[in-house]
Amino acid sequence: MEISDAQRDVRTIFLGGFAGQLVAGTLWLLSAALATWRSPRIAIWVLVVGGIFIFPLTLLLLWMMGRPAGLPKGHPMNSLGRQVAFILPLNLPLVAGATLYRLNWFYPAVMIALGSHYLPFIFMYGMWEFGVLAASLIGAGAVIGLYLPSTFSLGGWFAAIALLLFAFVGRSVAQREN
């Protein structure tokens, strides 16, 4: 199988990342709302624990949309997908350290970790748009953490909007191709 064919499979099956971005964006939106109107502690727990369920909820959403819930067994991108899945959880100790040092660095730290998680998606999906998403999250995380650290929820709102916006960008790319 050619790389471009494998990438097209990923774009087609996962709708350019639509379902995953929609699930993740909704989770970030809930977390940001809780950070704004409840407490940072609850918001952190919702994002961290909820993040565990993003991929299963993505597959459930795809299934509810009548789409295949994943790549076929033996697909060449399955191995990369499994490797990419570990990038964010392996960065959580760094996020925890940043958060323990300064509570308001939680969202910026997760944004930077999440942005790095999206970098391999550029290759896996064959979509440069994931580079824009990654750069947006990493850049905004750094700016918010360094220059706007006085508001806890700002990074949560930014990431939620970015993820939801990119859900529809990815879907548009996948639909245009088909």
Task: Note the pLDDT tens digit of each residue in 149-173.
Answer: 899 999 999 999 999 999 999 999 9
Cα separation, 147 vs 88, whole angstroms: 24
Q: What is the pLDDT of residue 149?
A: 85
**Residue 121: in which H helix or E strand, if any?**
helix 121-125
Query: pLDDT digit string (tens) for 92-151?
Result: 999 999 999 999 999 999 999 999 999 999 999 999 999 999 999 999 999 999 999 899
Q: Are 159 and 107 in contact (CB under 8 A)?
A: yes
Cα separation, 99 vs 64, whole angstroms: 36
Q: What residues contact residue 74 under an 8 Å CB cut-off, 6+ apart?
A: none
Reduce the DSSP state of residue 69 to 3 states and report it: coil
Residue with tokens 């961290």: 48
Q: Is the pLDDT of residue 70 over 90?
A: no
pLDDT mean across residues, the chain: 95
* Long-range contacts (CB closer than 8 Å, 24 or more residues apart) made by 42-47: 43/152, 43/153, 43/156, 44/99, 44/106, 47/110, 47/156
Q: What is the pLDDT of residue 69?
A: 82
Q: Is the pLDDT of residue 178 over 80?
A: no
Q: What is the pLDDT of residue 177?
A: 82
Cα separation, 37 vs 33, whole angstroms: 6
**140-163: burial string, b at 16+ Cβ within 10 Å, e else:** bbeebbeeeeeebbbbbbbbbebb
Q: Are 22 and 171 in contact (CB under 8 A)?
A: no
Q: Are 117 and 150 in contact (CB under 8 A)?
A: no
Cα separation, 40 vs 105, whole angstroms: 11
Query: pLDDT digit string (tens) for 1-10?
Result: 899 999 999 9
